[in-house]
């Protein structure tokens, strides 16, 4: 087992650095965490998989850069849910600590990559809406599928590089520096840098959406003033406004779910955390799963294109089930007529 400097308030762990971070002390706490992770994780994987299917099974939807970014967000949420639930439950609920520093940092890097990619995908979606509303006449020239895929490639590579810096050597064991009180082997300076990176992303998203909402309000006022001139341009403007409002709802949910985690991370850098706050952090971490679970619900309720695609899928499934139920009856009727004959 790799050893390095551990938090002062965890010195009672007698040098076993992994056990110092197993903060759930009662069976009730472990069961609660297990239920939350199982419920949120399962729903998140199912819902986001459905979103991916709806996007890539519809040629009209998957050609639009907006939905490529939403697809990236759904993929990131799926990966985050799987990796987070498996590693988090294994560590905090089953108290499995019999793996090396490299394995733990590999898992942590996967979680950070997925959640960072989720947030970055939301940023690209915000920028996409920003361009669509601020420069509508040049949107198709500026936001092409090639540029969208290039942006997504840069996004995932950047997030993975930042997330795996601790595995590559920026950890408190290699540097012999102060370790984080929240994550084993993680250097406090790295955690500060990751928080700054996350806050910059959030700041850019807020700025983009502030402009989007301002322009969307102008569009709504314009459409109300020129109701008699309803045409293709106004229809597109309505779609842009609807999608902008949808993604603002996603951002609001993201902020509410991530704020407790980020606040505790920042607090841990400047002050020592009590055992109670470390338990609170463990429970607040499950809110990240809740965010990933809620996003697809917002898409289904707010995006007319995705909702229409979902209705087509259900309609096709219903016809298929109806045909399957009627087929045995028809076959039975045919056999009865043959016997009577």
pLDDT digits (tens, 9 = 90+) for 225-281: 666 555 555 555 555 666 667 667 777 887 888 889 999 999 988 888 888 888 899
Helical H runs in the chain? 27-56, 59-62, 65-88, 101-134, 139-142, 145-163, 165-168, 172-175, 188-225, 232-270, 275-302, 304-340
Using alpha carbons only, give the angle 179, 202, 279 rounded to the nearest 5 degrees. Answer: 40
Do residues 142 and 84 lie in contact, with contact meaning Cβ atoms separated by under 8 Å? no
Do residues 45 and 22 lie in contact, with contact meaning Cβ atoms separated by under 8 Å? no
Q: Give backbone dihedrals phi and psi of 171, rounded to 5 degrees, phi first.
A: -135, 165
Coil, helix or strand at residue 22: coil
pLDDT digits (tens, 9 = 90+) for 167-187: 998 988 888 888 888 888 898
Single pTM value for the model: 0.82
Coil, helix or strand at residue 229: helix
SS (H, E, C) 32-79: HHHHHHHHHHHHHHHHHHHHHHHHHCCHHHHCCHHHHHHHHHHHHHHH
> How many other C-beta atoms lie within 10 A of the C-beta of residue 275?
11
Burial environment of residue 195 by CB neighbours within 10 A (0 to 12, 13 to 18, 19 or more): middle
Q: What is the pLDDT of residue 78?
A: 94
Closest CA to 116 of 33, 27, 193: 193
pLDDT of 27 > 60? The answer is: yes
Q: Which residue has the tokens 């996603």?
A: 250
| Side-chain half-sphere exposure of 194, counting CA atoms within 13 A | 32
Using alpha carbons only, give the angle 54, 136, 207 rounded to the nearest 5 degrees. Answer: 80
Q: What is the pLDDT of residue 223?
A: 65
pLDDT digits (tens, 9 = 90+) for 261-275: 999 999 988 888 888
pLDDT of 204 > 90? The answer is: no
Give the span between the Cα atoms of 108 and 166, in whole angstroms. Answer: 9
- What domains does the chain contain, in order, with CATH numbers? 24-227+234-307 (1.20.1070.10)
Give the span between the Cα atoms of 272 and 126, in whole angstroms. Answer: 36
pLDDT digits (tens, 9 = 90+) for 146-167: 999 999 999 999 999 999 999 9
Give the span between the Cα atoms of 38 and 35, in whole angstroms. Answer: 5
């Amino acid at each position: 087992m790799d050893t390095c400097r551990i938090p002062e308030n965890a010195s009672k762990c007698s040098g076993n650095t992994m056990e110092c971070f197993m903060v759930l002390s009662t069976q009730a706490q472990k069961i609660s965490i297990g239920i939350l992770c199982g419920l949120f994780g399962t729903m998140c994987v199912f819902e986001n998989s459905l979103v991916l299917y709806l996007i890539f099974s519809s040629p009209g939807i998957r050609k639009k850069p907006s939905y490529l970014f939403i697809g990236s967000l759904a993929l990131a949420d799926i990966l985050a849910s799987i990796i987070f639930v498996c590693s988090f439950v294994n560590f905090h609920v089953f108290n499995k600590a019999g793996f090396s520093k490299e394995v733990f940092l590999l898992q942590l890097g996967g979680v950070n990559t997925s959640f960072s990619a989720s947030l970055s995908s939301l940023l690209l979606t915000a920028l996409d809406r920003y361009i669509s509303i601020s420069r509508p006449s040049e949107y198709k020239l500026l936001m092409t599928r090639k540029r969208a895929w290039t942006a997504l490639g840069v996004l995932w590579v950047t997030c993975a590089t930042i997330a795996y810096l601790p595995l590559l050597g920026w950890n408190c064991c290699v540097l012999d520096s102060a370790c984080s009180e929240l994550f084993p082997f993680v250097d406090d300076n790295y955690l500060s840098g990751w928080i700054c990176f996350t806050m910059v992303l959030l700041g850019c998203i807020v700025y983009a959406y502030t402009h989007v909402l301002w322009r969307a309000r102008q569009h709504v006022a314009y459409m109300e003033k020129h109701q008699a001139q309803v045409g293709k341009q106004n229809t597109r403007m309505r779609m842009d406004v609807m999608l902008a409002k949808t993604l603002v709802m996603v951002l609001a949910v993201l902020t509410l779910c991530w704020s407790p985690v980020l606040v505790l991370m920042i607090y841990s850098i400047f002050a020592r955390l009590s055992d109670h706050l470390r338990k609170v952090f463990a429970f607040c971490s499950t809110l990240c799963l809740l965010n990933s679970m809620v996003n697809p619900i917002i898409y289904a309720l707010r995006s007319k294109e995705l909702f229409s695609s979902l209705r087509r899928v259900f309609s096709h499934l219903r016809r298929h089930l109806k045909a399957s139920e009627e087929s045995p009856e028809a076959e039975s009727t045919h056999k009865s007529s043959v016997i009577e004959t």
